[in-house]
Amino acid sequence: MLKFKTLRQNLNEAATAVKTIQVGKKSKAVITKKGSKFAVTIDGELLDDGFKTAAEAEKAAKEFADLMGA
């Protein structure tokens, strides 16, 4: 039986990492592509997975970091 942590890692590995950026002082964002959509993960937590372009995803990650004060 799969554990939740293993399942989560398997789902993340299915996506292709496009870009890794530093947002804020301590946070790291990873932009991945799965199919025709882009997803943003900040410090291992999914922000959103419905972006049309990598530029939109990067902009959203930076805006989120600014709002959260990270």
* Domain limits, the chain: 4-68
Note the pLDDT tens digit of each residue in 18-28: 889 998 888 89
Using pLDDT thresholds of 50, 70 and 90, give the confidence band for residue 63: very high
Give the whole-number percent of the chain exceeding pLDDT 70. Answer: 91
Distant-in-sequence, close-in-space partners of 2: CB < 8 Å, separation ≥ 6:
10
Q: Looking at the whole model, is its pTM more than 0.85?
A: no
